[in-house]
Each structure stands twice: as structure tokens, then as C-alpha cells.
Chains A and B, each alone.
Chain A
Amino acid sequence: MTTLTLSMRDRLKRYAAREGFGLFALIFLIIFIVLPILTVLLWGFAIRWRFPAVIPTEWGFDFWQETLSRADLRRAFPNSIVLSISVTLLSMVICLPASYAFARMNFRGKQFFLLSFLFTNAFPRLGLYVAIAIIFFRLGLVGTFAGVVIVQLLNTLLLMIWIPTAAFQGVERSLEEAALDVGASRLRVFMQITLPLVFPAVFAAVLLTFVNTFYETYGALLIGAPNVLTIPVIMFPLINNQPIPQYGAILSLVLFAPSVVLLLFANRLLRGGYLTAGFGV
């Protein structure tokens, strides 16, 4: 009987040790991810929320109207969208052929160039932007749409080259050769064999690039202001200078929307089997 209880306790201990980590992770998630998001969500729809109250005492859409009717925001929203789309498309045009070259060709300094994208990302962002701003000022690019596109494009290089390069490397050469062998041209091989096979990884890279660009603040602030303003740039002073948390909360929710839409879209594709089709070998 004693041995049984002991082993039971032993088992319980082991169970706690195993599940303890899960519990810890759960609490961690709640405190650092769920609670802040929940707070933002509540603030977005709160009119009055004073200290002792656990939830807002007065609800309403008053601040939404106030925030969304701001002229600077109305101008910034299309700016943000057009910028993000332009940067993402441009990044695709530049990076996808480059990553194919990195994966398939051998040239001098290949490893160095691949690593160089990491160097720029490892360098403190703000310092880099200040240096770029000085150069851009001389070139007359400060305060222009093109200037912001270039600075945000630099940001996307690492992701848009590294992920697709790995994906292209993952495509067995014999698959491409087999297509060439049955009579497909090089372009057709790329379009019908290589691209579908790397699609999941490239799609993920494009999605991340778009979302990252949409939220990018410092580059847009230093190069774009005051002529080209994006939503995150407007959010910055709004949250810093105003004692009203609703502005920040509502803007966060507004910014959250496009990425949620994108993620849902991606999820649909994934479940449709289109994304995963390339994975099975």
C-alpha cells in the first residue's frame, strides 16, 4: 500500500513537472500576450475606465468617430496601403530572381553577399536610418514617396532573400531537369515546376514582408515626414503626447485589421491544400 501511494505521488510529481511547464507557458501567454491585447480591445470601446474598475464603466464608439474622422489619419491610411503594396511588389521583383541566383548559381562572394543582408539587420536600425537620411537629404529624397519606398525596401531584403533562397535550394534539381527533359523551356520549368514548389515559403515571406512594411515606423518617420505620413508614424506622437489611451487602442485595432485579413486569407489557402501541395515529396 505504501509503495503504491509513493508511486502515485511520484507519478503526480512527474505529472506536475511535465504539466508545470505548460502551466507556466500558459500564464506567460496570458500575461504578456492575451492581457495586453484584451486591454487594447477594451480601451478601444471604452469611454470611461478609471482605476478601481476591472472593466470599463462606460462603453461606446465616440472615440472611434473622433479618431477615424481625423484628417491626417484619413490621408495616412491610403499612404500606408499603397506604400506597403509598392514595397512588397518591388521587393518581390528584386529579391526572387536574386534568391534563385543565390540558390542555383555559383559566383564569387556568394556567401559574403548572403551574409551582408544579415549585417545590415544586425546594425542598430536608428543609426542606419540617420546615416541614410543624411545621404537621402543630399539626393533630395527626404520627404518623398520614393525615399520611403527605398528605405523600407532595404528592410525587406533579409527576409525576402533568405527564405526564398532556402526554398529554391530545397527544390531538387532532378525535378527541374525532368521537366526540361520532356520538352519544357527554362521559363516554363520555372513557372510550372519550381515556383509552385517554393510557393508556400515564398508566400510566407511575402506576407511577412507586407505586414512588416505596414508597421514599419522609424524609416517612414525619418525619411517620409512631414510629407509622406503612414499610420504608424501618426500613431507615434498621438500615443506619446496625448493622455487619452483610446487613440492608441483604436489605431492599434485599425492596424491589426489588415494583418488579420491577410492571415485569414492565408489560412484559407492552407486549408484548401494549395499551400501544402508543394510540400509532399
Chain B
Amino acid sequence: MSTLSLKQLRKQFGDVTAVHEINLEVGDGEFLCILGPSGCGKSTALRMIAGFEEPTSGDILIDGQSVVTMAANHRPTAMVFQKYTLWPHMKVYDNIAFGLKLRGLARTEIDRKVNEALELVGLPDYGKRMPNQLSGGEQQRIALARALVLEPKILLLDEPFSNLDALLRVRLREELRRIQRRVKITAIFVTHDQEEALSLADRIAVMSKGRVEQLDVPSRIYDQPATLFVADFIGVMNLIPAQQNGATIDLGALRLESPTRVNGTVTVAIRPEDIAIVGESDVDAWGGEVEQIIDLGHYRKLLVKVPSVGTLKVYAPKALDLRENQLIGLNPSRFTIFRDGAAPIEVKREAVAPLEMSVAV
């Protein structure tokens, strides 16, 4: 039960700035994901919190107390690593008990705590096994037990599931969330997997090139991306370069209205689900040709080539009868305008009737 705050935290490796001044407040019991592509500085940030990297400048506070001068072995944090996490020459029991023994706890107390931790991660009878007898998922659960058994103030997780197969990853993710809620621990989870971040986090910090691009709850990260990077990185997005003249952007057959008057280059971002499929002859629509249909189980993704706009990604219900090379109309109902040096502007257009399933085009 603790809070964490990063103040102007910065890390420089030689000429390379891995982390620019980061400011972050993590609340008590909060689950925060740091999400970003590889090399964005997210692991470096985490390793500074753990004490494995020394910040070039800035401060790290846990419960309001600066820990920046504290060595890693004295910090009230515990980390779950990406791989090679368990000590291969020790039994599972001894792996978990290692930190407790260092604290000079009584044997019976250690016994109780280790068994509790094993119980918590759902592997109660695994104490006597050697790490190489465990599967990858089991190893990561034990690593989690080893971190939690010390009752740290902050739990740090550095892409703990990225070496596991997809199905197991989803299961462990759910289990981690359940355990985190149960022990009510403040957790920082670093990942490059946006699905993982969106499904786990209370809040997400999206990082790029050493900077936090956006810090927000998952739904807002998806619905209202603060920067072009976030718009592109999270989910599927159509990004269309365009010219704005005054309050209008002429894009193909459509004239999009903007609430602000400005002249210059902008990027129009539209989510596939915000594009309605209408009849080819609809006046208020882009006319396009279906280039490719990708079946994704419960829905289909279309790639539609629209002259002087580009190829747009659109979702279509399965019931809609479509084939490749067919001509259709596309009507955007919501889009966001990104312009360098300005806040993004979200624009909603009046709803239009989508293409009826029975319409013969």
C-alpha cells in the first residue's frame, strides 16, 4: 500500500538520452502500465525505480520518501524479470525463501510465508522442485511469488510474460490482475504489448523516445490519443496526410469541417470502426474499391482504395455481402485532426445511415 512518484527523472547513457524528464504519480494500489515500443526507455525507467540504474538527474519517491540514493538491495521494491528469473541451483522453496532468510526470520515464519506465497500463485506443492522442472509459465508464477513474499511497497514487472505463448500470456495476465487486487499492491508493469496494457492497467503511460506521450486510463488512451504517436501506436488507425485551409480540409470527395481556422499540413486520424459503409453512389461519402477482405472471425477487415485519400482500413459486419473489387461508399463519423505543435482536435460528423445488409450494390 504505497505511492510512487517520479520527478524530472532522466537517464543519459553517454550521448544517448534514454529517458527524458519523466514525471509520474502512481497512486496507492494502482496498476500502472508503461507501454511503448522497444528502445523507448520504459525498461530503463523501471530499472531506475528498482535501483539497477542510477538516474542522471531527478528524483524517485516512495511514500513521499526519496529512494534515489538507496542501493537496490535496500529499496522497498520487488521485481519480476522477463527471463532467467529463478536461480537454477536452488529449489523453488529456497528461491522464495532467499529474501526472507536474509531478513533473519524464524524458520517456522519462513515456512508459513513461502507456503502462503505458493498458494497465492496457485502452485502449492511446488516447493521441492528445481526451476528447470517447471514450465515457463510456472517459473514466472514462482518469480511473482518470490517478489510478493517480501511484501514490497511497489511491485515492478519487466515484460514478465513476453516469452510465453499467447494463450498462456492471457491466462497469466488475468491471474496477475486477480492477485494484485487481492494483495492490493501498487504495481508498475512494463510492456510493449498494447493488448496486455489495455486489459491490465488502471492507467497507461505510453512512452516513445524517452518521453511519456500520454498518461491516461485505457479507454481514453484508445479513444482520445493525445499525440500522433499514440494514435498510430494504439489500436488500428487510418492516418491521412492532408491540407487544411481555414476551417475546412478537402480530402477526396469530402470536405471535412474543423472547429479551428488554420492553414497548413495536418494529419487526419480515423479509427476503422468510425467509418460507416454506405452505398457507392452516396454523395456524403468517399467512393472506393474493396482491395482485400481479411476474415477475422466475428468480423471482417477491409482494405479499401479511395482515390486521392489512400487505402483505408474499415471493419465490416459478417452479414454484409461484400467481395473484392466491389465499389462501396465510406462515411467517416468521427475523426481527429493532428497538427504539429497543437493539441489534437476531435470532430464528430452527423450520423448517417449505414449500408443495409439487403442493399444490392
Contact = CB atoms under 8 A, between A and B. Distances in A.
A177 B150 contact: no
Contacts of B147: 181-182
A179 B86 CA distance: 10
B102 A172 contact: no
Nearest to B132: A280
B62 to A, nearest CB: 14
13 contacts: A175-B84, A181-B73, A182-B73, A183-B73, A184-B98, A184-B102, A185-B73, A277-B89, A278-B89, A280-B130, A280-B132, A281-B88, A281-B131
B194 interface: no
A193 interface: yes
Interface of B: 50-52, 72-74, 77-79, 81-85, 87-89, 98-99, 102-103, 130-132, 143, 146-147, 150
Interface string A89-128: 0000000000000000000000000000000000000000
B83 A174 contact: yes
A191 interface: no
A280 B131 contact: yes
Contact of A183 (B85, B89, B102, B143): B102
Given A180-B73, A181-B78, A184-B102, 12 more contacts: A175-B88, A177-B50, A178-B87, A178-B146, A180-B52, A182-B78, A182-B99, A184-B73, A192-B98, A196-B89, A277-B88, A280-B131
Contacts of A180: 51-52, 72-73
Given A183-B102, A183-B103, A280-B132, A177 B89 contact: no
Contacts of A281: 84, 88, 131-132
A172 B84 CA distance: 7
A11 interface: no
Given A196-B89, A277-B89, A181 B77 contact: yes
A87 B329 CA distance: 86
Interface of A: 172, 174-175, 177-186, 188, 192-193, 196-197, 277-281
B98 A182 contact: yes
Nearest to B74: A183
A67 B81 CA distance: 63
B172 to A, nearest CB: 18
A193 B50 contact: no
Contacts of B51: 180
Contacts of B73: 180-186
B98 A179 contact: yes
B81 A174 contact: yes
B22 to A, nearest CB: 21
B95 to A, nearest CB: 9
Given A184-B102, A197-B89, A278-B88, A178 B79 contact: yes
B150 A182 contact: yes
Contacts of A175: 84-85, 87-88
Contacts of A185: 73
Contacts of B99: 182-184
B87 A193 contact: yes
Nearest to B78: A181
A201 B97 CA distance: 27
B29 to A, nearest CB: 21
Contacts, number: 75
B129 to A, nearest CB: 11
A219 B215 CA distance: 69
B81 A178 contact: yes
A281 B146 CA distance: 17
B46 to A, nearest CB: 12
Nearest to A281: B88
A186 B99 CA distance: 14
A270 B85 CA distance: 25
A277 to B, nearest CB: 5
User: Which residue among A182, A192, A277 has the maximum number of chain B CB atoms within 10 Å of its CB?
Assistant: A182
B74 to A, nearest CB: 7
A193 B88 CA distance: 9
Contacts of A280: 88, 130-132
Residue from the set B73, B130, B143 with the largest chain A CB neighbour count within 10 Å: B73
A193 B78 CA distance: 18
Contacts of B82: 174
Contacts of B52: 177, 180
B193 to A, nearest CB: 19
Contacts of A172: 83-84
Contacts of B77: 181
Contact of B88 (A182, A186, A197): A197
A110 B211 CA distance: 35
B103 to A, nearest CB: 7
Contact of B72 (A177, A192, A196, A278): A177
Contacts of B50: 177, 181
A281 B89 CA distance: 8
Contacts of A277: 88-89
Nearest to B82: A174
Nearest to A185: B73
A281 to B, nearest CB: 5
A185 B130 CA distance: 24
Nearest to A189: B73
Contacts of A181: 50, 72-73, 77-79, 147
A142 to B, nearest CB: 46
A175 B72 CA distance: 14
Contacts of A177: 50, 52, 72, 79, 81
